[in-house]
Amino acid sequence: MFNVTTKTIEWGDETLTLETGKIARQADGCVIATLGETSVMAAVTFAKKQKPGQDFFPLTVHYQEKYYAAGKVPGGFFKREARPTEKETLTARLIDRPIRPLFVPGFKNEVLVMCTVLSHDLENDPDIVAMIAASAALTISGAPFMGPIACARVGFVDGEYTLNPSVDDMQDLRLNPEQRLDLVVAGTKDAVMMVESEAYELSEAEMLGAVNFAHQQFQPVIDMIIDLAESAAKEPFDYQPVDYSDLSAAVKAAGETEMRAAFAITDKQERTTAVSAARATIQAALTEEQLADANLGSAMKGLEAGILRGDVVKTGKRIDGRDTTTIRPIVSETGILPRTHGSALFTRGETQGLVVTTLGTGDDEQFIDALHGNFKSNFLLHYNFPPYSVGEAGRVGPPGRREIGHGKLAWRALQAVLPAATDFPYTVRVVSEITESNGSSSMASVCGGSLSMMDAGVPLKSAVAGVAMGLIMEEDGSYAILSDILGDEDHLGDMDFKVAGTENGITSLQMDIKIAGITPDIMEKALAQAKDGRLHILGEMGKAISGAQEFSVHAPRIETMQIPTDKIREVIGSGGKVIREIVEVSGAKVDINDEGIIKIASPNGESIKKAYDMIWSIVAEPEEGKVYDGKVVKIVDFGAFVNFFGKRDGLVHVSQIENRRLNHPSDVLKEGQDVKVKLLGFDDRGKVRLSMKVVDQATGEEVSPEAAEKSDD
C-alpha cells in the first residue's frame, strides 16, 4: 500500500531522517524531516497551468506549529490554533526567501508549500527542520526547482562556532553573555542564498566565518536530499520557459530612450512620474496582441533593469547621481514629540522614520505562548508601513508578513545593546512609523530606534546604526556592490544585504539573494563596505545626541527591591489584601515575582518612597540596640505592648518604663500614646524585649542608666 523511502544521516549530535511515500500521497511532494525528536511535514503542490494574465510568481509558504507537537493545549478561549504567531510568520518568510529565486525563470504557476510541526522535542528548533523538509519536498515534486537547498543554525561561544545549538541556548541571548550569535544560513551546494542573524557585536571576520561554517556543515544534508530524490522523485514537470524576446525587443525599441531619460532623474517622485510616462509611451507603440501578452510586465521590467544595472556596473554612477559607496544625506532629530517618553525623526535621503519609545512597567511585558514554553518579553518593536510613505492610496489593515519581518530585524539589531533588566527595570516599546520610503526603511527604524531610546533615557551600551547593501551582477561576472540602496535598486538588483551594529561590531545581519547565490569573496567585500557606511551613519547620528539624556517627566519611575522569598506571602497578604492596601495608600504600582524582586512604579517619587517604606516595614527585621518610634497598643498589669516596627509589637515590661517603681503602667501610659523605645533583644522564646527608660522621650536620644537614675532623682 505504501511505497516508503527513508534516508538517514548523523548530523552534528543528532540523527536527521527524511521520509516520503507514506503520508499526503496526493501532494506533488511530501517529506517528513526528523531531527532528534522534532518532526516537520512539508507538503508541496503546484498548478500545472499558469493563470491567464499572470505576471508574477505566486509562491505561498505556510509554516504551522501545532501545539500537540509539544504535548500542549493552546491558550485562549477557543483552545485552537488561530492566526499565525510571530514565530510562524517569521519562519514562513525564512523558508520562502531562499527557495523563491531557485525556480526556473519565467515559471509563474501557483506553488503552495505547507510545513506543519508534528513533534517538538524542545531541543531542536523546528524552523531548521521545516526548511530542510520543504527543500526535499520541492526537489522530489517534479516542480522546476533548481535546488536542493539546506540550512543550519550557528552559535558562537568562546570563539568557537557551534552547529544547531538547542532551543534553550538560543532563548533570550541578552541574558546569556556566553552565547553571542544566533545565525541561520541557507544555500545550495555552491553558494549562500539567505542569512538571518541576531549577534552581539561580532566582527565582520567572525560573521563571515560563521556563514562559511554553516555552508560547510549543511553539505551532507544537500547530499542526503539528492540521494532521496534519486529514489523517490517524480518525473520533472514539462515546463518550457516562454520565449518573449520579440516582445522585449519591441518594448526596447518603443521606449528605451524615454526610459533611460526617466531613470536619469534623481528625485524619486519625478523619476516615478517619468517612468510611468515612458511605460505609457511604450504601450502606445505596441499592438493589441503585444499589449495582451502576459509577459509584457516582465519585458518592461527587463528594460528597466537593463538600464539601471548596466550603467551602474559600467560607470559606477547610480540613478540618483551617487557613486557605489556614498550614503545619502542624513538628518537626525530627537525630542520632537512633547508628551512621549522618547522620540526621534531619522531621515536618510527620501527614507524617513518617526520612531517613538514608551517606557512601561512589568505589567506591560508581552506574554508569549510558544510551543517550547511560555515566557515574557520586556522589549517590543513594532514597524508600520502606511501607503502614504510611498505616495500611494492603498488599503490599510493589520500588519502583514513584511511589517512583522522588518520589525523583527530592527528588534534583533537593537536588543543587543539594551541594559540588563536589573539595571533598567522597564518594559521598552519602540514603534517605527515609516513616513517616507525609498529603500531600507528597516535600517531607518534601527537608527531611529536607537536615537529614540536614547532620548527616552534608556542607558544603551552604545548607539546602533544600519545600512542596506545591494549587488548588481552581470552575466560576464562583473559586479558592483552598492551602499544604502534605493527602492529601485532593491527591486531591480540581485541582493538585499542589511547590516546593523555599533562601532564595535555587528548586531544583526540579513541577506536575500535573487540569483543563484554569492561567493564568500563578494560577501567579504560587502561586509567591509557596509562597515564604512555604518560608521558614517553613526557619526551623523551622534550630532543629535550628546551626553546623557534626561529621563522624561511623563515616564514612570521604577525602583527595584529584593526581599526574601519567604516574605513574599506576607507582602501579598491573604487574597492580595496587603499588596492592594500598599497600592491604594501609596498610589504606586507594585509588581512582585517569584524570586522576590519587587518593582515599584510611579511618576511621583513620594508614592514610590511610601510604597517602599510600607513593604520594608513588612519584610525587614528590627535591629537590636536601635531606637524606634512606637505606639502603645495595649496596657496590661505587667507592662505595655508597643507597635514599633511595621506591624510588629513588643513588650515594654513595667520595670523598663521608667527608672522608678510604678504601681501600674497606666500611671504613665495610655493606649494610643506615642513613645520611643529601644530594642533590647529577644528572650528565649523569641519574644521582643523593649525599653523606654533608656531613651529620652523628648529627643529620642539614648541615655545611660546612670543619667536616667540621676534625672529621676
What are 419's three cell numbers? 541594559
Helix, strand, coil % over all residues of the chain, rounded to 5: 35, 30, 35
CA–CA separation, 510 vs 397, rounded Å?
A: 26
CA–CA separation, 592 vs 260, rounded Å?
A: 65
CA–CA separation, 673 vs 653, rounded Å?
A: 16
CA angle 537, 538, 544 (to 5 degrees): 100
Peptide bond into 387 cis (omega under 30): no
* pLDDT confidence of residue 304: 85
- Mean per-residue pLDDT, 510-515: 86
pLDDT at 712 over 50: no
CB atoms within 10 A of CB 652: 27
pLDDT at 270 over 80: yes
CB atoms within 10 A of CB 387: 11
Position 707 confidence tier, pLDDT thresholds 50, 70, 90: low
- Mean per-residue pLDDT, 30-45: 98
CB atoms within 10 A of CB 339: 8
Between strands 342-348 and 427-436, the pairing is unpaired
CA–CA separation, 679 vs 625, rounded Å?
A: 5
CA–CA separation, 215 vs 418, rounded Å?
A: 31
Share of the chain above pLDDT 70, in %: 98
What are 658's three cell numbers? 521608667
Choose among 72, 94, 231: nearest CA to 149: 94
Helix (H/G/I), strand (E/B), else coil: 605? helix
Position 96 confidence tier, pLDDT thresholds 50, 70, 90: very high
- Mean per-residue pLDDT, 42-51: 94
pLDDT tens per residue across span 467-495: 999 988 877 778 889 999 988 888 778 88
pLDDT at 685 over 80: no
Burial of 205 (0-12, 13-18, 19+ CB in 10 A): exposed
pLDDT at 63 over 50: yes
CA angle 328, 334, 340 (to 5 degrees): 135
Say if CB 70 and CB 122 are below 8 A apart.
yes
Host H or E run for residue 630 = strand 627-636
pLDDT tens per residue across span 97-136: 999 999 998 899 999 999 999 999 999 999 999 999 999 9
CA angle 311, 313, 318 (to 5 degrees): 55
pLDDT at 352 over 60: yes
* pLDDT confidence of residue 18: 98
Q: Left (φ > 0), alpha (ψ -120 to 50) or beta: where does 379 sit?
A: beta
Look up residue 146 and give its DSSP letter: -
Q: Which of 152-161, 414-423, 640-649, 703-712 has the highest mean pLDDT?
A: 152-161
Which residue in this structure is represented by grid cell 527595584? Answer: 560
Say if CB 680 and CB 626 are below 8 A apart.
no
Q: What are phi and psi of 376, to 5 degrees?
A: -115, 150
Host H or E run for residue 483 = strand 479-483
pLDDT tens per residue across span 542-600: 988 765 567 777 788 888 888 989 889 989 998 888 999 999 999 898 888 888 888 89
Largest CA distance in the chain: 125
Which residues, other chains included, contact 380 with Cβ-Cβ below 8 Å and sequence gap of 6+?
Answer: 366, 411, 427, 428, 429, 430
CA–CA separation, 598 vs 613, rounded Å?
A: 13
Concatenating the DSSP letter of every residue in 634-673 gives: EEETTEEEEEEETTEEEEEEGGGTSSS--S-GGGT--TT-
Report the range of poorest mean pLDDT among 5-9, 44-48, 556-560.
Answer: 556-560
CA–CA separation, 69 vs 257, rounded Å?
A: 59
CA–centroid distance for 278 within its chain: 42
Choose among 624, 456, 626, 613: nearest CA to 548: 456
Contacts of 624-629 with CB under 8 Å at 24 or more apart are 624/679, 624/680, 624/681, 624/682, 625/678, 625/679, 626/678, 626/679, 627/676, 627/677, 627/678, 627/679, 627/695, 627/700, 627/702, 628/676, 628/677, 628/678, 628/679, 629/674, 629/675, 629/676, 629/700
Helix (H/G/I), strand (E/B), else coil: 337? coil
pLDDT tens per residue across span 428-473: 999 999 999 998 899 999 999 999 999 999 999 999 999 999 988 8
Residue burial 87-123, b: 16+ Cβ < 10 Å; e: rest:
bbbbbbbbbbbbbbbbbeebbbbbbbbbbbbbbbbbb
* pLDDT confidence of residue 440: 87
Alpha helices for 382-493 (secondary structure H):
401-415, 441-455, 487-492
CA–CA separation, 50 vs 645, rounded Å?
A: 82
Report the range of poorest mean pLDDT among 57-61, 246-250, 356-360.
Answer: 246-250
Report the range of poorest mean pLDDT among 159-168, 263-272, 409-418.
Answer: 263-272
In whole numbers, what is the pLDDT of the chain averaged over residues? 89
pLDDT at 267 over 90: no
pLDDT at 151 over 90: yes
Residues in the chain, overall count: 713
pLDDT at 244 over 90: no
- Mean per-residue pLDDT, 623-642: 88
Concatenating the DSSP letter of every residue in 148-195 gives: --EEEEEEEETTEEEES--HHHHTTGGG-TTB-EEEEEEE-SSSEEEE
Strand partners, 617: none
Position 706 confidence tier, pLDDT thresholds 50, 70, 90: low
CA–centroid distance for 207 within its chain: 19
Q: Left (φ > 0), alpha (ψ -120 to 50) or beta: where does 510 sit?
A: beta
Say if CB 382 and CB 429 are below 8 A apart.
yes
Say if CB 100 and CB 134 are below 8 A apart.
no
* pLDDT confidence of residue 282: 92
* pLDDT confidence of residue 688: 84
